[in-house]
Each structure stands twice: as C-alpha cells, then as structure tokens.
Amino acid sequence: MARILLAEDDDSLRGFLTLNLKRAGHEVESYEDGDSAWTALERTSFDLLLTDIVMPGLDGIELARRAADHDPTMKIVFITGFAAVALSKSSQAPAQAKVLSKPFHLRDLVAEVERVIAA
C-alpha cells in the first residue's frame, strides 16, 4: 500500500481515480489544483505524487518540481494529455518523473503506480 497524493482538476476523473486507487489498496488524498496539493505536501509525506500537468494555479510541473525538492524520495507520475510537454527538457519536470498519457485504461494506471512504487 502506498500513500498517494492525487492532483487533478477534472472532478469526475479525480473521483474515479481516487475510488479505484483506494480499491487497489492505496491511501489517497486528492486535490483539485496544484496550490492545495502543495499545501498538503508541505504538511505530510507521501510515497507518490500523481498529478495532471494543466491545472489552475500551480501547474503540475511546478508542483512536481517543488515536491522533488521537498522530498527527493517521493515518486512522481504525470497523468496528462500533454506528454510531449512533460518530457521536454525546457519544462523543468523532475528527470525521474514518469508520464502516463491520457486517455489511459484504469488497469494501466494501477500497473504503472505499482511499478513506480516498487522501483
């Protein structure tokens, strides 16, 4: 079981992912924007940050950069329709971050979370 912080601005996707990651045995805290997710990261520790890139306020790349600086052991996975941006050197995304492109199948997300946590 992993402690996961989920940052996703789409309400229905956030709820769906939270429910299914919990069903897979993980503890999940979910937030609708990068600012509230960052506040949560400052007050508690997580094993994994699962974040969208394009969100209101603090975007996912800046959130991931701050998270990596705050806790270098935290794993990071981007869930996004903008994979090329996340992989771009100019994006300043943490080098160790993984990217899962939307749309994705739920089993692919759960499998990627398990792989990242086990690594």
**86 by DSSP, 3-state: which?**
helix
Find, among 6, 3, 71, the residue nearest to 34 by Cα: 6
Question: Domains of the chain (ranges plus CATH)?
Answer: 3-118 (3.40.50.2300)
Q: Quick one: average pLDDT of 94-98?
A: 73
Q: Quick one: average pLDDT of 75-85?
A: 77
pLDDT attached to residue 104: 83
Listing DSSP states for 2-70 in one string gives -EEEEE-S-HHHHHHHHHHHHHTT-EEEEESSHHHHHHHHHHS--SEEEE-SS-SSS-HHHHHHHHHHH
pLDDT digits (tens, 9 = 90+) for 6-51: 999 999 999 999 999 999 999 999 999 999 999 999 999 999 999 9
